[in-house]
Amino acid sequence: MRRLADLLLFACAFVLPWPARRFLYRRLRGFELHPEARIGAALVAVGRCSMGPRARIGHFTVIRNLDRLDLG
């Protein structure tokens, strides 16, 4: 199920605006995202993710096989 959610989010990253993707990351994956944090068109397949103010993951970035990702 987690892998399917990752693939769905990756596909949506190219067509949905950021507010819709933020909603999906929070609902499907349980990510903790600060309102100022942003994730571009990227594949983020990690166990848990926490992003603080002004944290960014740029377009075409691949992050996978991590238990936890914390960006301040």
Each residue of 19-47: pLDDT tens digit? 998 998 898 889 999 999 999 988 888 99
Q: Give the C-alpha separation, 21 to 33, whole Å.
A: 11
- Res. 1: pLDDT tops 70: no
pLDDT for the residue numbered 48: 92
Q: Kindly state the tokens that stand for 21.
A: 């993707």
> What is the rounded average pLDDT of the residues 3-31?
84
Q: What would the 3-class secondary structure string for 22-50 be?
A: HHHHHHHHCCEECCCCEECCCEEEEEEEE
pLDDT for the residue numbered 54: 94
pLDDT for the residue numbered 69: 95
